[in-house]
Structure 1
Amino acid sequence: MSQPRRTSRRRAWTVLALPALACLLAACSAGPASGGKSDTAAPGHDTAPTAASPTPTGPPGTVFDSFHYSGADDPQLTAHGWHVRTEGGAPGIKDTWSPAGATFPADSTAQGGRILQLRATTDGTKPGTKQTEVSSTGTAFFNGTFAARIYLGDEPTSGKGGDHIVQSFSAISPDDSSANYSELDYEYMANGGWGSVGPQLDTTSWFKSDPPDRVTHPLKQHLKGWHTMMVTAVNGKATYTMDGKELFTSSGKYVPRENMDVHFSDWFIDLPFTGAARTWDMKVNWFYYKAGEAVSPADVQKTVDGFYATGTDYVNTVPKQ
C-alpha cells in the first residue's frame, strides 16, 4: 500500500529565488549530433563544475539538471533551486535528515558520468539513523511532464539487508494543509513496509494529505538498476510511465491542482532490527520537466541527449513561484 501521509515534514526555509538566466542555448531541444546516445557514460564530465559556470536558457517551460555539482554546499546547487534537507519532521524516522547523505560522485554507469547520490544509513536505532532528501525551491511545477533517471537498490551498499527502505521521486504541494493539495509519487520499497511484503513500487496520486485521500497502484517486482520514471499530468489525467511502459493513470480529483515542489528522498519506514550499520544508496542521473505538455518517453530522452551533447548541465525557463 502507499505510505501514510507525511505530516509535519514541510520545510522552514525561505524560498530562494533562482538566478537570472545568463546565456542563450541554441537548438537545445534537438537530438544529439551523433543521432542519439545510449545510456553509457559520456566522457568529459568527471570533474565538478565551478561556481562560475553559466546558466544557459533553453526552450520555454523547460527544466533540466544533470546534477554536476561539487557537493551539498556548492553555491550553484542553491542557485539552481535545490535544497538539501536538514529540518526535522516526517516521513520515516522523524528528525534524522542529514545533508551528509547528498553527494555528487562520478559514476561510469550514468549518462554524462556524474550523479546525485542520496544515502540513508541506520544501525536500527534513531541516534544511529540518517535519511537524505533533496528538493526543489522557487520553481512552479504544475501540469506537464516530470521525468528522472533513477537507480534503485534491492540490497544495501554495505551491511545486512532487510530494512524497510523507501526510495522516492515525488512532486508535492509545499503546504500539507492546502485546500488544493497535490502530490504525485513513485515509491520503491525493496523489502516492503506497512505490512506489505516487498519488493514493491507504489505509484500514487493524492487529493488530500490528512486524512489521507489517494489512489495507488502497486507493482510487485524487483527493480534493481537504472530506470526512467515519468509522470505526465495533462488534460485531467496523471499517467505514470517507467522505461516507456505505462503503469498507472489517475483522473478526476486525483490530479495536480496547484504548484508543487520536486523531491528525491531516501528514508526508512521504521527500524525493524538493530545491529551493525547498513547503508542504502539511491542515485539520480538527471531530472527533466516540460510545463503544460505531455512529452513521450522517446522525446524526453532525445531532448536529454541533446543537452548532454551540447555540454548543458542545467536549464530553467519555468516561471518562479
Structure 2
Amino acid sequence: MITLPTLLCALVACNGDPADSGDSGAKGASAAKASPTPTGPPGTLFDTFKYSGPDDPALAAHGWQVRDGGGGPGVKDTWTTAGAAFLEDQSAQGGRALQLRSSTDGTKQGTKQVEVQSTGTNLFHGTFAARIYFSDKPSSGRTGDHVVQTFFPISSSDDSANYSELDFEYLPNGGWGSPGPKLDTTSWFKADPPDRVTRATKQRLEGWHTVVITATEGKAAYSLDGKELFTSTGKYVARENVDIHFSNWFIDLMPSVGGPRSWDMKVNWFYYKADQVLSPAEVQQTVDGFYGAGTDYVNTLPKS
C-alpha cells in the first residue's frame, strides 16, 4: 500500500510540482537545510526562506540578497541587512518565516529600512504568490509612522525601455496625503516620470494573508486571500523579466511620533509558476504539497 507522504515525495522527485497530485496538507517545520532541488519540467520557483541569516551561503545560492546601501525609496540611504532574520514562528505554515524589521526614531541617523530581493531571476509571465504577515501597529514604540510593507515583481533597471512593476503595498497609517489603513495595488508603465494605474483597498490587514499576481500578455490581476482586487490592461502589464522584492520602509521621517519604534513584516513562502495562470486555491494546494513533502526550495526555471 502506497502512503500519502510516499506519493507526495515521489511526485516532487518526478514532476517537480506536487500540485498535480491534487493533495494538500501542511507539515511541521522541516530541517533548516534546504531540500535538494527536484528535477522535472521547468517553470517553478518555491522558497520557504529557511536560512540561518543574511550571510547564509544558501541564501545567495538560491538567488536572494538582503539589500545594504544607498538609494530609495523612503528615507534614502538607510538600507541595512540587520533587519532581516529567519526565525521560528508557530503562526507560520511550517513553523518558520522571514522577518523584515524596520526601525526609526524620527531621524535619518536613527532609521533602518530592510529589503530582500531576488537577483537575476528569469521571471516574466505566470503566477506570483506569497504569504505575508502585515502589521497594523509597531512591534515596539508608538504608532503613527507612514510605513510601507510591500511585495512586488520589478524590472532590474528603472531606466529600462520595457519597465515593469506590479505592486502590493500595505500602508497601515496611510501616506502621501491619503489615510490608512489601505492596500494599494499598482501597475507601472514607467518609473520616471511616474506612469501607473492603481487602486486602494480600504481594509485593516493585521495578520497573515496570501497575495497573488497573475501576469499575462495583456493583463495583470491582483488578489488577496482569493478575492480579486484589481486588474490592469493595455500598457500597464509586465513587459520584461522581473526580480522579486519584499521590503519594509518609511515614506518620511516623523519625529513628532516620539521615541524609537520598530515595524515588522513577515514572509512565510514565495511561489512562482511560469506561463500559467493559477487560482489562489491552486497556489495553496501546490504549496501545501511542497510542505507535506518536506520540500523547502524548488527551482526548475530555465537558465538565463
TM-score normalised per structure 2: 0.92
Question: Aligned equivalents of 2:73 and 2:79: distance in 1?
Answer: 10
* Aligned residue among 110, 119, 122 for 1:137: 119
What's 2:7 paired with?
none
Tell me the percent identity: 65
Q: CA offsets, 1:250-287, max 9 Å, x none?
A: 00000011111100000000012253210100000000
**Where does 1:235-274 land on structure 2 (aligned, <5 Å)?**
235-274=217-256
- Displacement of 1:31 after TM fit? 5.0
The answer to whether 1:49 aligns with 2:33 is yes
Residues 212, 55 of structure 1: CA spacing in aligned structure 2 closer, same or farther, 3 A cutoff? same
Q: Encode CA deviations 1:116-150: one digit per residue, 9 max, x unaligned.
A: 11010000100000000000012111111000000
Aligned equivalents of 2:129 and 2:235: distance in 1? 22
One-letter amino acid matched to 1:205: S
- Given that 1:145 and 1:231 are in contact with CA atoms closer than 8 Å, whether structure 2 keeps it comes out as yes
Shift of 1:32: 10
Instruction: Determine the structure 2 residue equivalent to 1:93.
Output: 75
Q: Which residue, out of 266, 283, 293, partners 1:283?
A: 266
Letter paired with 2:28: P
1:316 matched to which residue of 2? 299
> Is the contact between residue 71 and residue 104 of structure 1 (CA under 8 Å) also seen in structure 2?
yes
Taking a change above 3 Å as real, the CA distance of residues 37 and 133 of structure 1, as seen in their structure-2 partners, is same
Distance 1:163 1:170, change over 3 A: same
- 1:136 and 1:185 map into 2 onto residues whose CA distance is 15
What are the within-5 Å matches in structure 2 for residues 57-96 of structure 1?
57-96=39-78
Gaps (5+ residues) in structure 1?
Answer: 1-23
Number of residue pairs the alignment of both structures matches: 292
- Matched residue of 2:128: which SS? strand
For the 8 Å contact 1:139–1:319, the answer to whether it is kept is: no
Is 2:217–2:238's contact at 8 Å kept on the other side of the alignment?
no
Q: Would you say the 8 A contact 1:32–1:305 is kept in 2?
A: no
- Which protein is richer in helix relative to its size? 2
What is the distance in 1 between the residues matched to 2:168 and 2:109?
28
SS in 2 for 1:115: strand
1:234-265 Cα deviation digits (max 9, x unpaired): 14100001100000000000001111110000
Q: Compute the displacement of 1:25 (Å).
A: 1.9
**CA shift for structure 1 position 29:** 2.5
Change (3 A) 1:59 1:107: farther
Counterpart check, 1:300 vs 2:288: no
Give me the whole-angstrom Cα distance separating, in 2, the residues matched to 1:145 and 1:48.
26
Unaligned residue ranges in structure 2 (runs of 5+): 1-11
Q: Do the aligned partners of 2:16 and 2:38 also contact (CA within 8 Å) in 1?
A: no
The 8 Å contact of residues 149 and 169 in structure 2, kept in 1 or not, is answered as: yes
Q: Which residue of structure 1 lines up, in the alignment, with residue 17 of structure 2?
A: 29
Query: Which residue does the alignment assign to 2:8?
Result: none
Detail structure 1 runs of 4+ shifted over 4 Å in the superposition: 31-35
1:76-123 per-position Cα deviation (integer Å, ceiling 9, x unaligned): 000000010002100000000000111100000111111111010000
- TM, length-normalised to structure 1: 0.87
Q: Deviations over 1:162-201 (max 9, x none)?
A: 1000000001111101111000000000000010110011
**Residues of 2 paired with 1:110 and 1:59: CA distance?**
29
Report the Cα distance in structure 2 between the residues aligned to 1:141 and 1:32, rounded to whole angstroms.
21
8 Å contact 2:155–2:240 — kept in the other structure?
yes
SS at 1:25 equivalent: helix
RMSD: 1.7
Could you tell me how far apart the structure 2 residues matched to 1:184 and 1:205 are? 5
CA shift for structure 1 position 28? 4.4
